[in-house]
Amino acid sequence: MTRVLVSGGTGFVGRFIVEHLLARGYDVLVGARALPAPAMFSRPVAFVPLTLDPDVDQSAAFRGVDHFVHAAFQHVAGRYRGGEGGDPEGFRRANLDGSLRLFKTARHEGVRRCVFLSSRAVYGEQPPGAALLEETPCHPQSLYGALKLEAEQMLSGLATDAFATTSLRVTGVYGPCGHEGAHKWQSLFDDYLSGRAVEPRAGTEVHGDDVASAVRLTLEAPVGGLSAGVFNVSDILIDNNAILAIVRDLTGCGHALPGRAAVTAFNAMNTGKIKALGWQPGGFGRLRETIGTLLA
C-alpha cells in the first residue's frame, strides 16, 4: 500500500486531501504540529509531529513514506495574503526556509514524489480579462505570493529521475469547514440574510475535494505526464450576486441581491493541463449542493 505523508493534514485544505486519499486506499500519515481532534477524520489515521522550523531534523517522519504532499502553511489565523502580520522575516523563515528543509529531507529519505500546494497569488496583476496559463509570467504582489513562487522554483530545482516534483497553483477553496467553526462565506451569508449591504465581488473557486482529486492525479500520473511540474487548479468564476442567488433560492429570503461584478475583467485560470490528467471538478452543481450543506 502506498504511504503518503500530508503536512498540514489537520488544516482546512489538508483535511480534504487526507479524506480523499483514505477513501481511495492510500495509507495516509498526517503531519501537523498537534494531534488531530478525535473525530476530525472519518476513520483512524496515523499521526507524526511535523513543523515548519528549518532548524529541526525531521527525517524520521519521512521514513517509509512513498509520497509527500506539502499543504502546511504558517500564517496569522484567517489570513493568507497578509498572513505575515508584523513578522515578515518569521513568515519567510517558516514558509520558505521551512518548506525547503522538508523538501530536501523528503528527497534524502527516498520519497518518490512531492506535491506542493501553491497559489494563484503567484500570478499577481495581469492584463484585465487575460486567462492565466501555467506559462504566464508571474508578478506576485504580496509576500504570500512571492514565497509560494520561490518555493515552487526551489522544489523544481530539487527534481531528479527518482524524485518527481509538482506544484499545484490553487485558487480560493470552499467547502464544509469541519471542526474549525465558521465557513469562508459565513459573514457573506449573514450579511445577506440580515438585509445588510453586500459589495459586488468576483473570484475563482474550487471545492476542497476537487483540490484533493488534483493532488491524487499528480501522484498517480506517469512521470512523463508531469512536464514542467506546475498545474492550475480552479473550477468556477463566480461573483457574490450568483452565490447569494443560490442562497435566496434555497432559503426563500427576499432581500435584494448585490449588483453584478465585472467578471469579464477577472483573470480566470486555464485548467486544461490538469484536466488532461483526467481531472473533473464539480462545477456549479457541486457549488449549489455545498451551499445547501453550509446553510443547513
Q: Which residues of 111-123 are buried (b: 16+ CB within 10 A; e: fewer)?
A: bbbbbbbbbbbbb
Please give the chain's pLDDT, 296 residues, in tens: 899 999 999 999 999 999 999 999 999 999 999 898 888 999 999 999 999 999 999 999 999 999 999 999 987 676 667 767 788 999 999 999 999 999 999 999 999 999 999 999 999 999 999 999 999 999 999 999 999 999 999 999 999 999 999 999 999 999 998 765 678 999 999 999 999 999 999 999 999 999 999 999 999 998 876 766 999 999 999 999 999 999 999 999 999 999 999 888 999 999 999 999 999 999 999 999 999 999 98
Q: Which domains does the chain have, with CATH numbers?
A: 3-180+205-234+275-281 (3.40.50.720)
pTM here is 0.96
Where in the sequence numbering do the catalytic residues fall?
144
